[in-house]
Structure 1
């Protein structure tokens, strides 16, 4: 019974921790993709400006 109470009280902390970790991972993945897109589009952008 005590273990069940501990699990119930610790669950929100673990959920928040995993949620924040997922948000950071998602942010870095999106940032990485955007940087890759910008780098891959640089030659096209320079060609457009010429």
Structure 2
């Protein structure tokens, strides 16, 4: 489900958590938002959000 209450909209911002998009959502034809790529991209986004020690 896409949560835009705080203005975040993208994968790296943490707004996309699954593939529960509404009909007509612009993300539907984009391969990065379709399984199995979405699962991989969500994992990358989660790692990005945690950052790396450095």
Shorter chain as normaliser: what TM range? 0.3 to 0.5
For normalisation by structure 1, the TM-score amounts to 0.35
Q: Specify which structure has the higher proportion of helix.
A: 1
Which fold has the larger relative contact order, with Cα–Cα distance below 8 Å and residues 6 or more apart in sequence? Answer: 2
For normalisation by structure 2, the TM-score amounts to 0.33
